[in-house]
A and B are shown apart, each in its own frame.
Chain A
């Protein structure tokens, strides 16, 4: 039996911090988030290869939802997650958590970090190999001032919550567990502080399919149990489709599409999203002859002009090379107002021949 029936944490002295802004306010609000990595200095000054990994990214994460972030290598999804976690300092932009702007002061950051936790792809390297499982999970509460004994108690509760028998696993070391079990431990550690937002960066990508399903089910259960909000980053579109309420698609550091998962997977508004969806291998696809897209994702060191996707886009026109499309509501009446895309095709009066006529 692997799927857990989590034990209630009523006796736990650690309670989640209270909701400040009420359900209508976004839990996390990111606006204009930009991160530029300086390139190597050239001889006699000059900047070679400064990379804008994340460019003017704005989005909200609503309370209780799962926001999926998808994109290929170099799209900036990992950098974005590190910015959200406060592991990197943004070059520009603002992060607001439950109505409170994230500053750089130690106390604020500390409070923020208690409420926002992260789970990484590599279950092994994100655990200290010399600590037992329960010590690893107890570590964050102890850092936040809890007595060791109480923290170990929480660790054991969390182990039970992620479906690992505390009596059997608490005193083992990471190398004695399988990949799926280790990832459960990482989830338990992330939850030990009773966070409100969990950033999951490719949490199931390194797992076998049969174990992946166990962990996804667990994540769904824990979300309901602890009233969590997720940011779920993945390159696997099927998994994102399965777990997300809303989906954000990134390409070369920018958001190209954002909307409800149903809407996007039923009818993507951005040609890149469509191509990404059509690229999923399946039995149904075996009759196809031509790939949906040619070429590799471009390097962020040297981004194309205008719309970054235009060199690979089948609908590309001259205007695409010169105009960078803004992220605007999709102007199709039967779609939800909440569906945004950064493509000139959807924007009346953009100059693209496929764009709807300006009203």
Chain B
């Protein structure tokens, strides 16, 4: 097992490096000159050259990458072009908000999705199944931002039950009673897609497991529903875990629209402003951190699967 962990961790290193390279190259493949964002429009040519030298943009590409990588490893993601503050600080604050939201949404999606999927599988081809799957399909197909706006219209405007803007007092989210109401609407919105996917995965996996012969053995041993459920759950766990992990990853980076709708001060919101302000260092840093987080999450999922399923080669 220890060898498997070490090997799997080592496999992640080249992936992380490639991610870094892509992020680094972002500057060069994105349209527009970064210098034009900080230099005044009528700046003389000498000033631009000076700026290029200051930012190290005149060196050959591999050298720039090595320098950049060296700084990144030390936690230095550069400074934001628009605010002048270190990128790492901006990203880490936003990341905390996003992770809080993503984890909350995922927990909700997992709980309800598993319930819906499990019920659908147990009562396959009945009205229970049909209703549960209608929910699941709706969750996957309804556009995020539209659902968000709908919830805002209903629960914040028509029936003012929950706040619809920001993360609460202080502008950043903290796990306490004062901030929790702010979490509700974005969390529900964000959970729609993973909820649908989890419900469908759980349904498919459980139906497949229920068709396996060992279920007949378990019934033949006289186990009651509860005992059989335990076996089904342990068999289904690796597949569900994989879907969950992937979804959590997507939620961390893929919530630009929802965070914008709810003005949630997370990475999506940050990315949005970075793009519009052409703040390349900020964009680069945010994407890099998110991508690395995604790689790490995949690693955790893989290790978790190996732990849950003894058949996965160690």
State the B residues within 8 Å of A (CB).
3, 6-7, 10, 313
* Structural contact, A43 and B313, CB atoms closer than 8 A: no
With an 8 A cutoff between CB atoms, is A280 at the interface?
no
Q: A43 to B10, alpha carbons, bound, how many Å?
A: 10
6 contacts between A and B (CB under 8 A): A40-B313, A42-B3, A43-B3, A43-B6, A43-B7, A43-B10
Q: Looking at chain A's contact residues, is the secondary structure mostly helix, strand, loop, or mixed?
A: loop
Q: Which residue of A lies closest to B10 (CB)?
A: A43
**A91 vs B120: C-alpha distance when bound (angstroms):** 52
Find residues 23-47 in chain A having any chain B CB closer than 8 Å to their own CB. Answer: 40, 42-43
> Nearest Cβ distance between residue B301 and chain A, in whole angstroms?
21
Q: Would you give the shortest CB distance from B281 to chain A, in whole angstroms? A: 38
Distance to closest chain B CB from A241 (angstroms): 33
Taken together as a complex, chains A and B put the C-alpha atoms of A42 and B10 apart, in Å, by: 13
| Nearest CB in chain B: distance from A27 CB, A | 42
Bound state CA distance, A42 and B3, in angstroms?
A: 9
The residues of B that contact A40 with a CB separation of less than 8 Å are 313
Question: In the assembled complex, which residues on chain A have CB atoms less than 8 Å from the CB atom of B313?
Answer: 40
Task: Report how far A13 CA is from B41 CA in the complex, Å.
Answer: 83
Cβ–Cβ < 8 Å partners of B3 in chain A: 42-43
Residues of A within 8 A of B10 (CB): 43
Question: Chain B nearest CB: distance from A38 CB in Å?
Answer: 15
Q: In chain B, what residue has the closest Cβ to A42?
A: B3
Query: A43 to chain B: which residues have CB within 8 Å?
Result: 3, 6-7, 10
Query: Whole-angstrom distance between the alpha carbons of A124 and B10 in the complex?
Result: 43
**Which chain A residue shows the least CB distance to B2?**
A43
Across the interface, which residues of B come within 8 angstroms of A42, CB to CB? 3
Query: Among residues 257 to 274 in chain A, which have CB atoms less than 8 Å away from a CB atom of chain B?
Result: none
Nearest B residue to A41 by beta-carbon distance?
A: B7
Cβ of A286 to closest chain B Cβ, rounded Å: 28
Give 5 nearest A-B pairs by CB, closest first: A43-B7, A43-B3, A43-B6, A40-B313, A42-B3
CA distance A42 to B4 in the complex (A): 10
Nearest-neighbour CB distance to chain A for B57, whole angstroms, equals: 40
Contacts of B7 in A (CB 8 A): 43
CA distance A43 to B7 in the complex (A): 6
Q: Which residues of A contact B6 (CB under 8 A)?
A: 43
Minimal beta-carbon separation of B214 from chain A (angstroms): 21
Q: How far is the CB of B238 from chain A (nearest CB, A)?
A: 20
